[in-house]
């Protein structure tokens, strides 16, 4: 993997990540294909949307169908017939989101399967091996992600374990070929974020992920921690903000020098009838859309907006037709791909600051309570 910067405005950057499966223009939003599929969409949809890279998950793919089976078939690219880059997450986040089904020890994370209750131990070495078997392009190491209300000592202890796991991951990687990022943790404590950056950058990795944010903290806390963390990271390596995907968060992330984003939020809210627009989210199930025979978003070139009326999608949702989830998901992902395209152009033209201000002045942000509910559901 090779990363090169093409332009900067302040901390905002335009770059290119070169992989064996093609180039990725950054900043980039990555749709989440947790189990080898972006919910409600197929690969043709993703290609038409303009997705350059997607994300899979070690925990879920190892449980079902199993990384050994995927390897025998020819790897995850062949298994899902996707020829562009794939990033795989390690399962560390599931150690946070599935706290009731896991136990963390020095050895690794022991999960009780949410499918059949069977026991599965993910160690740093096993996670590296699974990603090799999947054949993904960018790998994440196993890490410890704690809730935002964890105290200083708890997070400090978790950082020590994450660092030791990183060393074990790198030792295991000597047997395999893959690009392994480091993950920066540290909760909301700047001292611990700095400590995590120092530990991870000492390994001189091909890229760095920022974890432990958008996990229940306020937006103000997230933005402050993000701004501090990105300032400490190497300029010449890609920076990946994990689990963040609302339009306003993407803009703030780019402003602070983030290059890569992923989140299930755009497709999750889409399946509940919430569609992105330049001025905020609109709920298509609202009765005011029942007879609206016009294009949903005049600025959007997605398959839904180009071919169907607002009233039709409203009808599909009210009738609980599966096509509703597909069309809404296509729209939200295309919206974010277009947003990232606009951001890159604005940086190249040295107009990002104006674009940022104008966009957020007009965009109505979902309220904080609703945002936290979305993270849980």
Q: pLDDT digits over 64-123, tens only? A: 999 999 999 999 999 999 999 999 999 899 988 888 999 999 999 999 999 999 999 999
Active site residue 301: no
Write down the pLDDT at residue 96.
87
User: When comparing pLDDT for 368 and 329, which is higher?
Assistant: 329
Q: What share of the chain has pLDDT > 90, as a percent?
A: 93
The rounded distance, in Å, linking the Cα atoms of 113 and 120 is: 7
Q: What share of the chain has pLDDT > 70, as a percent?
A: 97
pLDDT for residue 369 is more than 60: no
Write down the pLDDT at residue 88.
98
Q: Minimal CA–CA distance to 172: which of 126, 140, 218, 216?
A: 126
- Quote the tokens at residue 173: 């990687």
- What are the helix and strand counts (H, E) for the chain? 16, 17
Averaged pLDDT for residues 240-261: 98
Q: What is the pTM of this model?
A: 0.96
The answer, yes or no, to whether the previous bond of 130 is cis (omega within 30 of 0) is: no
What pLDDT band is residue 376 in, cutting at 50, 70 and 90? very low
Which ranges in the chain are annotated with CATH 3.20.20.105? 2-263
3-state secondary structure of 187: coil
Averaged pLDDT for residues 331-347: 98
Active site residue 358: no
Write down the pLDDT at residue 374.
45
pLDDT for residue 373 is more than 60: no
The rounded distance, in Å, linking the Cα atoms of 104 and 110 is: 6
Write down the pLDDT at residue 225.
98
Quick: pLDDT tens for 193-248.
Answer: 999 999 999 999 999 999 999 999 999 999 999 999 999 999 999 999 999 999 99
Write down the pLDDT at residue 95.
86
Alpha helix stretches (DSSP H) within 67-218? 67-73, 76-80, 92-97, 124-134, 152-173, 190-201
Averaged pLDDT for residues 177-181: 95
Write down the pLDDT at residue 366.
82
Q: Minimal CA–CA distance to 49: which of 355, 281, 327, 276?
A: 327
pLDDT for residue 26 is more than 90: yes
> Looking at 45, 143, 259, 262, which residue is catalytic?
262
The rounded distance, in Å, linking the Cα atoms of 153 and 339 is: 40
Write down the pLDDT at residue 370.
52
| 2-263: CATH topology | TIM Barrel (3.20.20)
Write down the pLDDT at residue 377.
38
Write down the pLDDT at residue 280.
97
Averaged pLDDT for residues 311-333: 98
> Looking at 89, 143, 179, 259, which residue is catalytic?
89
Write down the pLDDT at residue 375.
46
The C-alpha angle 347, 15, 22, rounded to 5 degrees, equals 135
Cβ within 8 Å of residue 7, ≥6 positions away: 13, 14, 347, 348
pLDDT for residue 334 is more than 60: yes
Quick: pLDDT tens for 262-321.
Answer: 999 999 999 999 999 999 999 999 999 999 999 999 999 999 999 999 999 999 999 999
């Amino acid at each position: 993997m090779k990363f090169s910067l093409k332009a900067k405005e302040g901390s905002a950057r335009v770059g290119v990540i070169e992989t064996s499966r093609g180039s990725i223009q950054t900043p980039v939003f990555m749709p989440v294909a947790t189990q080898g599929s972006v919910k409600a969409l197929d690969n043709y949809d993703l290609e038409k949307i303009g997705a350059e890279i997607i994300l899979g998950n070690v925990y879920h793919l190892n449980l079902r169908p199993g990384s050994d089976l995927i390897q025998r078939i020819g790897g995850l690219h062949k298994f899902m017939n996707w020829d562009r880059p794939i990033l795989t997450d390690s399962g560390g986040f599931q150690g946070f989101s599935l706290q009731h089904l896991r136990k963390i020890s020095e050895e690794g994370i022991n999960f009780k399967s949410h499918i059949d209750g069977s026991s599965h131990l993910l160690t740093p070495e096993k996670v590296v091996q699974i990603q090799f078997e999947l054949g993904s392009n960018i790998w994440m190491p196993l890490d410890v992600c704690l809730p935002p209300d964890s105290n200083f000592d708890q997070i400090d202890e978790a950082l020590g374990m994450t660092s030791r796991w990183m060393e074990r991951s790198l030792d295991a990687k000597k047997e395999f070929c893959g690009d392994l990022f480091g993950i920066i943790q540290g909760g909301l404590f700047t001292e611990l974020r700095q400590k995590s950056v120092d530990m991870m950058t000492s390994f001189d990795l091909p890229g760095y992920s920022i974890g432990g944010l958008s996990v229940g903290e306020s937006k103000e806390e997230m933005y402050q921690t993000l701004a501090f963390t990105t300032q400490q990271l190497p300029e010449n390596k890609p920076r990946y903000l994990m689990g963040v995907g609302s339009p306003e968060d993407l803009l703030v992330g780019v402003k602070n020098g983030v290059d890569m984003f992923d989140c299930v939020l755009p497709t999750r809210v889409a399946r509940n009838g919430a569609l992105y627009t330049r001025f905020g989210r609109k709920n298509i199930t609202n009765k005011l859309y029942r007879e609206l025979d016009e294009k949903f978003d005049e600025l959007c070139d997605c398959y839904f907006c180009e071919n169907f009326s607002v009233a039709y999608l409203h009808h599909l949702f009210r009738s609980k037709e599966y096509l509703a989830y597909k069309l809404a998901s296509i729209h939200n992902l295309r919206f974010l791909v277009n947003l990232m395209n606009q951001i890159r152009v604005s940086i190249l033209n040295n107009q990002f600051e104006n674009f940022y201000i104008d966009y957020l002045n007009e965009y109505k942000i979902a309220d904080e309570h609703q945002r936290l509910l979305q993270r849980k559901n």
